[in-house]
Amino acid sequence: MNYSRRKTSTVHIGGVKLGSDYPIRLQSMTSTSTMDTEGSVAQCKRICDAGADIVRLTAQGVREADNIGEIRSILRKAGYCTPLVADIHFNPKAAFAAAKVTDKVRINPGNFVDVARTFKKLSFTQEEYAQEIQKIHDALVPFIALCKENGTAVRLGVNHGSLSDRIMSHYGDTPAGMVESAMEFLRVFVAQDFHDVVISIKSSNTVVMVQTVRLLVQAMEAEDMHFPLHLGVTEAGDGEDGRIKSAVGIGTLLSEGIGDTIRVSLSEDPELEVPVAKKLADYITSRAGMEPIADCEGASHEPIEHVRRSSVEITGLLGGNCKPVVITTALPSQITDRLSPDFFYSPDGAVEDDSNRYIVPADKYDNSKANAYPLFDLSQAKQLKDCCAPLKWVQVSTCTPVESLAFLKDDNSIAIILTPAHGNISGCQEFFIKKLDEAGIHNPVVLKNSYDDDDNEWIQVKAGADFGTMLLNGYRDGVWLDCPCYGNINDIVRYEFGILQAARLRTSKTEYISCPSCGRTLFDLQKTVQEVKAATSHLSHLKIGIMGCIVNGPGEMADADYGYVGAAAGKISLYKNKECVEKNIPQEEAIPKLIELIKANGDWIEP
């Protein structure tokens, strides 16, 4: 659990070297039409000026691929040497054209050889399957030869939303299917002795994304492959939701040393993605220079998929199978937004006496001790043991000797508030809880992390990464985010709930699965996201996908309740789950039609 990078091979992308011997590379993707040379050049410059190491542009066809070469030439003359990547879907001819004029070509194993998934053929004999694998070989070998000839790197980009029918037939819509989709291609690259390959394996679901990348690393290790990895949470959304969701997914893997280049995919101007990615990379990699966590050499994350840590349930409030709780340092009168924490802790003595402090349930806060639960330090162990309250809290740090907590085994009414005593917050907390379990102490643990930042983006990144890592690794009794230097307590509460929702543990608001926009987007994505949010954000029980085009749209929003997908210029298709229910609606009619669809299915609630 001490931080160290996963060892990888080195990939050369133009003048940039990528891999574990080099810094984590930052990248973004243009949202302009690739045929808009002037606009694309200007946006590439803004992305580069923001600090990106790599810039990607979409190439729907050969024309667009060729024009990336023109864009690159103009940028080079202007002094911008940042590598350019061509993003290819469905069109191998465009990939071949791009290999001659770009620094890297991204191909999607789900649609480079296979046709777009149709769900019409979901049964393949062994012979038919072998024939499909041979097709991959035959299509890739000349492409690899061209990349070798031109010094062009390749990114294999697997998306959860674009697995082929063949993969679906054998593996279903699963992490194992996503991994095999990549491995089929990697085996051909290795056989052809071509190693300038980077892999991304993404999903809009952070749980799926983390499990799948871990599984891919395991699969590559088993076949002695050490390719570097590109990390990202697709369709993360915009604003704080997009930042928190990205920090939860990407931060969890970075904390394990996995990941060599990252993109934070936001439904915003692409240059705004880069500073968020830099914060996230800088925050996690700063652990490399820290003193090791005491006594934890050799301790590591073992499972691919983490189940919830088993803890005792206390009075139906927390632990066991209860939902993760939210605690906030505040008074109820300070909460003016819709979301309210489950428990309040008042540091100013509102519910306090000479000997004790209290944490109070939100529905019982009355400025008295009558409905409060006492909070003790370990120095007050005698009082803690003698107290007969139905729920008691003890605050300890990760440097507390676990043997001093042995008395907790005899009292199932005590919950632990755990604060970190090391800069590697998730590492020290996870190691401490493992020691608790080894000692037979299974009391619920609420994670309390404090940050001195007064910048909201830094708080979102740090808290998302630290809490997210712990939550996705199974430590799910509760969170307490404490930010004494940040003035808006409503923001802090919202971030806590946002982290739990990003980890797929507690839904508190409408979840929007929205793509970051690119040259394939068929409408003004940022404006549309805001308009859809304005009409539906009160529906806190739903997930709504807002996708710019059909490349990954229907697949990436497969677990969304409703979908709004670009079908053609000025045309929108609406989805209920995976089913397209209305096609090619004029865009000006799409949001009213979406509301009608939600009402027709009984999911509408009046604001």
For residue range 297-310, list pLDDT tens digits in order. Answer: 767 667 787 899 99
**What does the pLDDT look like over 277-330, one tens digit per residue?**
999 999 999 999 899 998 887 676 677 878 999 999 999 999 999 999 999 999
Q: What are all long-range contacts of 79-83, with beta carbons under 8 Å and residues at least 24 apart? A: 80/44, 80/45, 80/48, 81/14, 81/15, 82/14, 82/16, 82/44, 82/47, 82/48, 82/52, 82/53, 82/54, 82/55, 83/13, 83/14, 83/15, 83/16, 83/53, 83/54, 83/55
d(C-alpha 51, C-alpha 146), whole Å:
30
Mean pLDDT of the chain: 90
Q: DSSP string of 363-425?
A: GG-SSSSTT-EEEEEGGGHHHHHH---SSEEEEEETTS-GGGGGGGGG-TTEEEEEE--SSSH
**Distance between CA 373 and CA 352 in Å, rounded?**
11
Q: In angstroms, what CA-CA distances link 287 with 42, 254, 274, 473?
A: 36, 11, 21, 19
**pLDDT surpassing 60 at residue 98:** yes
With a pLDDT cut of 70, the percent of the chain lying above it is 93
Among 355, 95, 226, 511, smallest CA distance to 216 is for 226
pLDDT at res. 516 = 64
What is the structure's pLDDT at 161? 67
Q: pLDDT for 103-129, tens place per residue? A: 999 999 888 886 655 545 567 778 888
CA distance 45 to 386: 66
Helix axes of 456-472 and 239-255: crossing angle, nearest 10 degrees: 50
Q: What is the 3-state secondary structure (H, E, C) of 430-442?
A: HHHHHHHHHCCCC
pTM of the model: 0.90
Annotate 68-88 with DSSP letters as a single string: HHHHHHHHHHTT----EEEE-
Confidence band, pLDDT 50/70/90 cuts, at residue 546: confident
Contact 153/11 with Cβ under 8 angstroms? yes
| Contact predicate 461/241, CB 8 Å | no
pLDDT at site 124? 74
3-state secondary structure of 324: coil
393: confidence class by pLDDT, cuts 50, 70, 90? very high
C-beta of residue 110 within 8 angstroms of C-beta of residue 88: no
Q: What gap in Å lies between CA 470 and CA 70, rounded to an integer?
A: 46
Which of 45-54, 162-171, 319-328, 410-419 is least confident?
Answer: 162-171
**Residue reference for tokens 């800088």:** 282
What pLDDT is attached to residue 481? 98
Give the type of residue at 526: Q
Is residue 409 within 8 Å of 440, Cβ to Cβ?
yes
Which pLDDT band, with edges at 50, 70 and 90, does 554 fall under? low
Mean pLDDT of 393-404: 96
Q: Which of 31-35, 65-69, 108-112, 590-594 has the lowest mean pLDDT?
A: 108-112
Tokens of 517: 């926009």
* Residue of 348, 345, 342 lying closest to 330 (CA atoms): 345
Tokens representing 165 are 């029918």
**pLDDT given for residue 566 in this prediction:** 82
For residues 213-226, average pLDDT: 97
> Tokens 């604001």 label which residue?
607
**Strand 153-159 to strand 104-107: parallel, antiparallel, or no bridges (unpaired)?**
parallel
Pairwise pLDDT comparison (591 vs 351), residue with the higher score: 591
Q: 564 and 533 in contact (C-beta within 8 Å)? A: no
Tell me, what's the pLDDT at 301?
A: 66
369 has a pLDDT exceeding 70: yes
Rounded Cα–Cα distance for residues 399 and 378 (Å): 12
Q: What angle do CA 339, 342, 347 make, to 5 degrees?
A: 100
- What does the pLDDT read at residue 36? 96
- Over residues 37-89, the pLDDT tens digits come to 999 999 999 999 999 999 999 999 999 999 999 999 999 999 999 999 999 98
pLDDT number for residue 118: 52
Query: CB under 8 Å to 43, separation ≥6 — which residues?
Result: 30, 31, 32, 270, 271
Residues 313, 305 contacting (CB under 8 angstroms)? no
Looking at residues 410-433, what average pLDDT do you find? 96
Phi/psi of residue 400, each to 5°? -70, 130
